[in-house]
Amino acid sequence: MRVEYLIAEIGSTTTVVTAFNFKKGVEVVGQGKAFTSVLQGDVTIGLRNAINEMEEQLGESIEYDRMIGTSSAAGGLKITVHGLVQDMTVKAAKEAALGAGGIIKMVTAGRLRRTDIKKIKEINPNLIMIAGGTDYGERETALDNAEIIRDAELNIPVVYCGNIANQEEIKEIFEGRELYVIDNVYPRVDELNVEPARGIIQDAFEVNIVKAGGMDKIKEMVDGAIMPTPGAVMEATKLLYEIIGDVIVVDVGGATTDVHSVTEGSVEILDILVTPEPKAKRTVEGDLGVYVNRENVLELLQYHELEGRTKDSISSFIKPIPTTEEEKYWSRVLAQKAVNTAIDRHVGQIKRVYNSGRKFSAYGKDLSMVKYIIGTGGALTRLGKGKEMLESIKDVKGDITMRPTKEAKVLLDNMYIMACAGVLSRENKEAAIELLKASLNL
């Protein structure tokens, strides 16, 4: 059997491969999974095993026109970020890195110290981001940091996204080394410009993913694009924004809970917003997972949520793939807590300004204009009651709010293909749109 696309999602533990045809609408031909083989030194072993499982299910061999993929194997896309001011350039660079699917391992503001370089060496990131200074503003900090990083001989690709007045000197500093120079992520006060950095980070990931342990043979099979899995979900979220408007996607996994939102918010909130927020924002809650990090979520449960049980007894029911009704029930309890906590951390807050009459200030991301709340990940799409879990994040009081309102509609990624659609959109946007519509029943 021949198919148009094989799309692989190479996770840290599991590799899933899905076969698609798009000539006559969306056809999901089959899906197979296997353990990721990074530790065996060759990720294609897991890829082939996943394809073999799919072929066994279909009863025939699979040939494909094109294979593309996403990956969070080998620790994902580890990034360190180094800027000038924590609330300005550092924040902007972080937003760019997170939106591209990065895992932020270290953040510094100001001039790097010897202890900072020692920590960078210990982290051994995939990318180092240097930011700092508005355009034609402060220059020295970013240049000093660039020289410190160069002299440390880290042999790690560098993305420079600071003051554009420094660009020629930055190129001289890193001459002969892998360097990506792009527009400033914080060109003017209160203005974020994160999209150029996101694109470059994803390009750098594709170039360097083959250097990660076990990934060096990936191009033997994957002949198309390779993206960080969270970055692919963000691309799918941005594509949904083009189709249906302001949207938020909640992805509850075994180890993390990610929230992706694409919305500019309301004019009312923008008028009182203290610091700018990106239109497309991603937050990663590395402590909120329904299996690997279940103990962290259990600690967040209130007395009434325990329903008279101990946390240890509840923990015994949490399995990587719940099968009994009791296992599914308690996994849903943890998923609900992960959803609520992740949204609390993603959404902004409105605070009254005292001594100035009835005035307010807003901090963080405004979700009040969101039209669709979408759930993806196994916990929301496979345990049941995913829509009910997401209904709980709405603000139904009708007051001034930064949360989604009661008018927002909840949808589920029934086919669990958000990441697939994201990487597919880079070369076949129309097919990606059709895939998203089919999975969300749009």
Cα→Cα distances 273→54, 268, 290, 364, 375, Å: 50, 9, 34, 8, 28
Residues 55 and 89 in one domain: no
Residues 242 and 149 in one domain: no
Cα→Cα distances 172→150, 167, 429, Å: 11, 9, 38
Q: What is the pLDDT of residue 211?
A: 67
Q: Which of 398, 380, 371, 400 is nearest to 334 (CA)?
A: 380
Question: Edge-to-edge strands of the sheet including 102-109?
Answer: 102-109, 77-83, 127-130, 158-160, 179-181
For the chain, give the longest Cα–Cα distance.
Answer: 74
- Residue pair 285/341 in contact (Cβ under 8 Å)? The answer is yes
Token representation of residue 324? 């009994």
- Domain boundary pick from 201, 224, 247: 224
Q: Which residues pair with 19 in a beta bridge?
A: 6, 30
Q: Which of 1, 37, 33, 35 is nearest to 17 (CA)?
A: 33
Q: Which residues, 6+ apart, have CB-to-CB distance to 54 below 8 Å? A: 17, 19, 30, 31, 32, 62
Token representation of residue 61? 């061999």
Token representation of residue 237? 């979220």
Work out the number of other CB atoms within 10 angstroms of the CB of residue 135.
16
Nearest-angstrom CA–CA distance, 427 and 242: 17
Token representation of residue 32? 């197979």
Q: What is the pLDDT of residue 83?
A: 94
- Residue pair 136/165 in contact (Cβ under 8 Å)? The answer is yes
Token representation of residue 162? 């600071």
Q: What is the pLDDT of residue 358?
A: 62
Residues 86 and 51 in one domain: no
Residues 191 and 243 in one domain: no
Residues 396 and 340 in one domain: yes
- Domain boundary pick from 193, 224, 255: 224
Q: Which of 216, 209, 251 is nearest to 375 (CA)?
A: 251
CATH number for the domain that contains residue 435: 3.30.420
Nearest-angstrom CA–CA distance, 442 and 428: 19
What averages of pLDDT result for each successive group of 10 residues across the chain (442 residues)?
Answer: 91 83 88 81 87 94 92 76 88 84 88 96 93 94 96 93 96 95 91 86 76 73 85 93 97 88 92 87 86 88 89 87 89 94 92 71 92 93 93 84 93 91 92 94 92
Nearest-angstrom CA–CA distance, 77 and 98: 10
Residues 372 and 283 in one domain: yes
The number of distinct structural domains making up the chain is 3
Q: Is the pTM of this model over 0.85?
A: no
Write out the residue range of the structural domain in which residue 199 sits: 77-211
- Domain boundary pick from 166, 193, 224: 224
Residues 316 and 369 in one domain: yes
Nearest-angstrom CA–CA distance, 336 and 393: 10
Return the DSSP state at 408: P
Residues 144 and 20 in one domain: no
Residues 136 and 46 in one domain: no
Residues 61 and 84 in one domain: no
Residues 22 and 159 in one domain: no
Residues 300 and 406 in one domain: yes
Q: What is the pLDDT of residue 106?
A: 93
- Residue pair 424/5 in contact (Cβ under 8 Å)? The answer is yes
Token representation of residue 315? 């923990």
CATH number for the domain that contains residue 123: 3.40.50.2300
Q: What is the pLDDT of residue 156?
A: 92
Q: What is the pLDDT of residue 248?
A: 98
Q: Which residues pair with 352 in a beta bridge?
A: 360
CATH number for the domain that contains residue 27: 3.30.420.40
